[in-house]
Amino acid sequence: MHVARSRIIGAVSALVVFAGAAQAGTFPDFGYKPPSSYTGPIFQLSQSYPQKLPTGELPAFFKLLPSPLTNNFEQWRPYAEAAKKYCLEGNVESDWYVQKNTVRKWYHVPWQHYGPLGREGIHGLTKEAQIQTKQLAPTQTTTGQTFAVGIYNDIGGYTIGEVWKDSQNPDPSVTSKPNSFHNGTVVCKPLFADIDLKQVPFLVNPVLWQAFVTDSFNSANRSIKPVALIQMDFAVRDSRVPGTGWIFGTFQYNGAVTGKPGWDNLVPVGVMWGNDPEETGDSYTNKQPTVTKINPDIKQSAINAKPELPPTHLGWNGRLDGPVDNPVSACLSCHMTAESPQLSPMNPTFQAPDKVPPIGSKEWMRWFQNEEAGTPFDAAAKSTDFSLQLDGGIANFYEWKCTQDGVFVQGGNACQHTNLKLKLMKSVTPPPTIYKVERDQVLEQLH
């Protein structure tokens, strides 16, 4: 309880101090302000969400969707490359300060600033996951950590604005059946690694960002460090896709492609549009890759077989996943659990050891079904339609709001002094904490 309480105090301080760190808006820009010695650009949350659903042509790459859908990646390559161009245009030139993009509008999800994983103030990166030893290459003998920033195009930005129209009462029914993100929504997310670059051959000629990040995955102490572009994910809401209505894709950095630092070094890993619910085997799972093991029996992922792709682990039994993702998960599998409140973990292994189901069992395969857009993973929740950012932002908001003990004269917290709906937004059985955080002793003095 002591650590949790200090986390809340730190976050409330962030609300007060950093909401006006750049241009004042409804939602705070970030939770971790870089030290005064930093004089470069400061991250701003792009939150001028469209008031009306954008109309007009869908992104041009929609015309490149293969028909029929196939696990032959070469049939997908034009689509994937055009999607990458869509994500990068104007953002590379503006260093991903997306308000400066002169090509198209992009938006961020609110409430990612909060807590120990919250946004830092240089590029708005949130803390993602630990990199395990040999996860990236046989020569990688130390662990690392990853950070990321996700953006939504104007169609997706409209939906974010509708969910958060009332900043004190986010409404996940906007993305839950019969609703969902609108056709044409595009999400892009570059990921950066804090790792010993000399241990990872494909990170030669790196694209580096300065970021105010933790010293290590288990640390709360932050400093300005260089982090290296390692991956870029994209997701596309497309109602033509059967089973899920979404396409996910990912790229891996390979600095040997051009021989110089640049976003052109992002090579496709593949795309996926379904979880292959009939495939229960485990022989292609490859946690410490020396080669990329492509499973020909996986029909709803298409994996790049060309040598431009460095050896990578992929997801469970060969489904699509990126190099810093969980090798016993998959892009769609993980994001399918996005709901509010989140009543189930994102992966069957994120539970107490005695509760992890046998690999490939009916209970395990619950995480590898195909669910239509807007379908909650648990019937008692509302779907956030494959958006873990919306899921996490809403959870952060209610964790902050519902643990403000002592702010009422009569005692209790905000959830105990409002209606039942607010109480129900907080899961009674949240997923177990999967990281350890020790707050800075300076924050402990705020008690």
Give CA 207 to chain center in angstroms. Answer: 20
Rg from Cα positions in the chain: 21
How far CA 233 is from CA of 54, 239, 240, 293, 314, in Å, comes to: 23, 20, 21, 20, 13
User: Rounded to the nearest 10 degrees, how much is the dihedral formed by the CA atoms of 79, 84, 87, 90?
Assistant: -120
Within 10 angstroms of residue 11's Cβ, the number of other Cβ atoms is 20
Report whether pLDDT(419) > 80: no
Q: Cβ(158)–Cβ(50) under 8 Å? A: yes
Report whether pLDDT(97) > 80: yes
Identify the residue with better confidence: 378 or 26. Answer: 378
Residue 378, classified by CB atoms within 10 Å of its CB into exposed (0-12), middle (13-18) or buried (19+), is middle
At 11, the pLDDT band (50, 70, 90 cuts) reads very low
d(CA 330, CA 326): 7
Give Cβ neighbours of residue 24 (< 8 Å, ≥ 6 apart): none
pLDDT score of 414: 61
Give Cβ neighbours of residue 312 (< 8 Å, ≥ 6 apart): 252, 269, 289, 292, 322, 323
pLDDT score of 409: 58
d(CA 264, CA 262): 5
State the chain's mean pLDDT as an integer. 88
d(CA 287, CA 224): 31
Among 147-156, 221-230, 428-437, the range scoring the smallest mean pLDDT is 428-437
d(CA 244, CA 366): 15
pLDDT score of 25: 63
Q: What is the average per-residue pLDDT within 269-281? A: 98
pLDDT score of 357: 97
Report whether pLDDT(71) > 50: yes
Tokens encoding 156: 């997706």
H helix runs in 192-336, sequence order: 331-336
pLDDT score of 442: 31
d(CA 4, CA 2): 5
pLDDT score of 294: 98
Predicted structure pTM score: 0.88
d(CA 208, CA 196): 13
Total residue length of the chain: 447
Report whether pLDDT(398) > 70: yes
pLDDT score of 402: 81
Which residue's entry shows tokens 């509008």?
105
At 416, the pLDDT band (50, 70, 90 cuts) reads low
The crossing angle, in degrees rounded to 10, of helices 388-402 and 154-163 is 20
d(CA 18, CA 27): 10
Report whether pLDDT(16) > 50: no
End-to-end Cα distance, the chain: 13
Q: List, for residues 19-70, the tens digit of each pLDDT value.
A: 333 334 689 999 999 999 999 999 999 999 999 999 989 999 999 999 999 9
- The closest of 64, 81, 65, 69 to 299, measured between CA atoms, is 69
Within 10 angstroms of residue 63's Cβ, the number of other Cβ atoms is 11
At 411, the pLDDT band (50, 70, 90 cuts) reads low
Q: What is the average per-residue pLDDT within 206-232? A: 97
At 437, the pLDDT band (50, 70, 90 cuts) reads very low
For 173-197, give one letter per residue: b (16+ CB within 10 A) or e: ebbbeebbbbebbbbbbbbbbbbeb
Among 99-108, 144-153, 358-367, 433-442, the range scoring the smallest mean pLDDT is 433-442
Would you call 128 helix, strand, or coil by DSSP? Answer: strand
Q: What is the average per-residue pLDDT within 347-358? A: 95
Domain limits, the chain? 2-444
d(CA 75, CA 242): 18
Would you call 421 helix, strand, or coil by DSSP? Answer: helix
Give Cβ neighbours of residue 406 (< 8 Å, ≥ 6 apart): none
Using DSSP bridges, classify how beta strands 222-237 and 151-153 pair: parallel, antiparallel or unpaired: unpaired
Among 14-23, 210-219, 255-264, 301-310, the range scoring the smallest mean pLDDT is 14-23
pLDDT score of 22: 32
pLDDT score of 346: 95
Report whether pLDDT(7) > 50: no
